[in-house]
Chain A
Amino acid sequence: MTVPAFSVRDLRVGYSSRRGVTQVLHGVSMDIAPGEIVGMVGESGSGKSTTPSAALGLVTENAIVTGSVEMAGQPIRLGRAKETRQDARGKASVIFQQPMRAFSPYDRLDRQITDAIMAQIGVSRAEAHQKALDGFTELKLPDPALALRKYPHQMSGGQLQRAMIALAFACKPQVLICDEPTTALDVTVQAQVIHMIRTLAEERGVGVLFITHDLGVVAEICDRVYVMYSGQIVEENTVNAVLKQPRHRYTRALLNSTPVMGEKTRFQTIPGNAPGAGEIKVGCPFAPRCQATNDLCTTEFPALQHQAEGSFACHNPEPLETV
């Protein structure tokens, strides 16, 4: 068996404040193989961004992170964010949602990208510049040498996101975290960006964690999917299984509320709101919004059950259709 590019075991994150510790992530475990694209979906506040942030040391000082993380077989220290960042350096890259905010408006792209490449993989400025130029050429940015001389405001959102992808891959990462990279883009540009990320990840054998709330995007790019709810993984399976035959009631509810082209029917909604972080819960966290609860759901916490293929945490799962 190959060593996973990204492996997380029982990752827990809490934020300490004067009022005590607010637990936001309750034991998340996942594996991503090299070249595999794994989706992570859930509503705002479900912990889908916290998981990679904690694994990369991008959390604030008051975060308490426990568990274990490995990148390409190398353990990452989690005790202090600074050590985490040190260990993850050169192994992981991140692409954020808003390319306009990810770049500083004050410097030319050349400066920002070469600085980042130098810091990540410790090469000389000339080498870093060459890597940036190669990346821009590969991502088909018009006139790459000129594009590197530009300031972020002189480029469109789609171009900047491509510049960000060029930077991410120039650092030769084992793991690439994409945090809603296409949410701010037009559908046409989104299709292009998704295609680029998939091609590059497969070519270079980079394990990708693709965070999104759009199940359509998941269908386009991912091999496997984790569904998050209230700081936990509630379902994991191949993309086909999750989208066509979900077992967890929450996954089904999410699918039903997603608008689909060509179907002009009234949406089914999920009643209520996702629970806030730190709310103490008995039983299944989704139970108050679930349409198919039984007695067990309100009293006992459902553990993640591992099946022959995939896993889910539900006392009353959707029955498997026998085709």
Chain B
Amino acid sequence: MEQAVLEVSDLCKFFPTPAGLVHAVDHVSFTIDQGHSVAVVGESGCGKTTLALSLLQLIKATSGHVIFEGLDTATATRAELLELRQKIGVVFQDPHSSLNPRMRVGDSVGEALKVHRGMKGSELRAKVGQLLEDVGMPVSAAERFPHQFSGGQRQRIAIARALALDPHLIVLDEPTSALDVSVQAQVLNLLADLKRDKGISYLFISHSLATVEYLADTLLVMYLGRVVESGSADEIFANPKHPYTQMLVGSVPQLDPDMRSKRTMPKGEIPSPINRPTGCPFSSRCSQVMDKCRDQVPELLQVEGANVQTACFLNQ
């Protein structure tokens, strides 16, 4: 029986600025089932990191609900939130800045165990050693400092730390963007193994579609705070329905130099979120724009015959 680990409904985060209200996250809804991974993709400024921060309660959402294993975070007590946070692990983009340079690796990885589980001494050392082994690091790494490791090793350490409290969900914010391709491959393989062996769910945020494809079951494509396409990752990659997704997928460089001539150049840039176009947010760059796109906002609706929803009049 599959149970939803995380249910997000109508989540909004607006930032008031002198120039007007910025709709960073605008009515986003999705669910993550146990052992599944959801990937969020989009260009910089589309709200994907704000989405992650607001569902981690690191910033307060303007409205909407985040329900983690049946518990609504908006109405939860402090004690309930404390309990809940132990079930969510986080891995950030840059392992050079997310690990404390003055703490030994073992202390960083074991800190949550000490605080939440009251572990100490040999029990703590054994658990930390096991966590490091799980991510393919030697046990002796615990005694060393972050600067003694390469970028890929540090990202493994960050993953070990996220795993410490046996989380049900790990939020990964661009976990491989700062790494070399050979190391990126190691980290992605590790994440796939952990998902298979421990049944952990992922929320994977990335701008690199090729890495997302490998790990994601469900895909959310965001544009200026709104979800423009969502659904089965395989179906979306095989046959993107929304013109924006088509543009994103079409922009990914292919390894075949003969493909060069067949590409269409993406048009324009993502507009500033302060003056978002009226109507469909993508209307200013869309190659198939119609009159009604400029004054009506398309709703996210199921595409007939596919496991995909899009917010585009072309598919309705």
State in angstroms the CA–CA spacing of A267 and B180 once bound together.
14
Whether a CB of chain A sits under 8 angstroms from the CB of B255 is yes
Q: Does A32 contact B (CB under 8 A)?
A: no
B3-11, B105-113, B209-217, B300-308: which lies at the A interface? B209-217
Q: Is A313 part of the binding interface, using a Cβ–Cβ cutoff of 8 Å?
A: no
Q: Within 8 Å CB of A257, what residues of B? A: 181-182, 184-185
A268 contact set on B, CB distance < 8 A: 185
In the assembled complex, B186 has its CB within 8 A of some CB on chain A? yes
Taken residue by residue from 224 to 267, chain B's Cβ proximity to chain A (1 for < 8 Å, 0 otherwise) reads as: 00000000001001000000000111011111111110010110
CA distance in complex: A158, B251 (Å): 15
- A85-93, A114-122, A215-223 - interface stretch: A215-223
- Return the chain A residue nearest B216 by Cβ: A264
Q: Please state if B254 and A219 are interface contacts (CB–CB under 8 Å).
A: yes
B269 touches A259 (CB 8 A): no
Q: What per-residue 1/0 map shows which CB atoms of A146-164 lie under 8 Å from chain B?
A: 0000000000111100000
The answer to whether residues A189 and B257 also contact, given A259-B211, A261-B237 and a CB cut-off of 8 A, is no
A244 to chain B: which residues have CB within 8 Å?
Answer: 256
Decide yes or no whether A43 CB sits under 8 A from chain B: yes
A254 on the B face (CB < 8 A): yes
- Assess the B257–A215 pair: CB atoms within 8 A: no
Do A188 and B180 touch across chains, with their CB atoms under 8 A apart? no
Interchain CA distance A119-B237 in the complex, whole Å: 49
Q: Does B62 contact A (CB under 8 A)?
A: no
CB distance from A293 to the nearest CB of B (A): 18
Question: In the complex, what residues of A have CB within 8 A of residue B185's CB?
Answer: 257-259, 267-270
- 8 Å CB interface, A180-231 against B: 186-192, 194-195, 213-217, 219-220, 222
Quick one: CB contact mask for A244-256 with B, threshold 8 Å, 1 for yes?
A: 1000000001110
Q: Is B289 an interface residue when CB atoms closer than 8 A count as contact?
A: no
B124 CB → nearest A CB, Å: 29
**Cα distance, A217 to B251, chains bound together (Å):** 11
Q: Tell me if A266 and B44 are in contact (CB < 8 A).
A: no
Closest to B150 in A: A273
Question: Bound state CA distance, A159 and B271, in angstroms?
Answer: 12
B151: interface (CB < 8 Å): yes
Which residues of A in the span 255-297 have a Cβ within 8 Å of any Cβ on B?
Answer: 255, 257-262, 264, 266-270, 273
Complex contact A188–B254 (CB within 8 A): no
Task: Please indicate which of the listed interface residues B183, B209, B234, B247 has the most CB atoms of chain A within 10 Å of its own CB.
Answer: B183
B151 & A188 in contact (Cβ 8 Å cutoff): no
- Whether A259 lies near B210 (C-beta < 8 A) is yes
Q: Which of A43, A214, A215, A259 contacts B213 (CB 8 A)?
A: A259
Cβ-based interface call for B27 (8 A)? no
Q: Does B43 contact A (CB under 8 A)?
A: yes
B188 touching A261, Cβ below 8 Å: no
Residues in chain A near residue B181, CB distance under 8 A: 43, 213-215, 254, 257-259
Docked-complex contact B182 and A243, CB < 8 angstroms: no
Nearest CB in chain A to that of B207: its residue:
A186
* A195 lies within 8 A of B265 (CB): yes
The 4 closest A-B CB pairs, nearest first, are: A216-B253, A267-B185, A259-B210, A257-B185
Residues of A participating in the B interface, judged by any CB pair closer than 8 Å: 43-44, 156-159, 186-192, 194-195, 213-217, 219-220, 222, 239-240, 243-244, 253-255, 257-262, 264, 266-270, 273
Can you list 7 A-B pairs with a CB-CB distance of less than 8 A? A186-B207, A219-B259, A243-B257, A258-B181, A261-B237, A264-B214, A273-B152
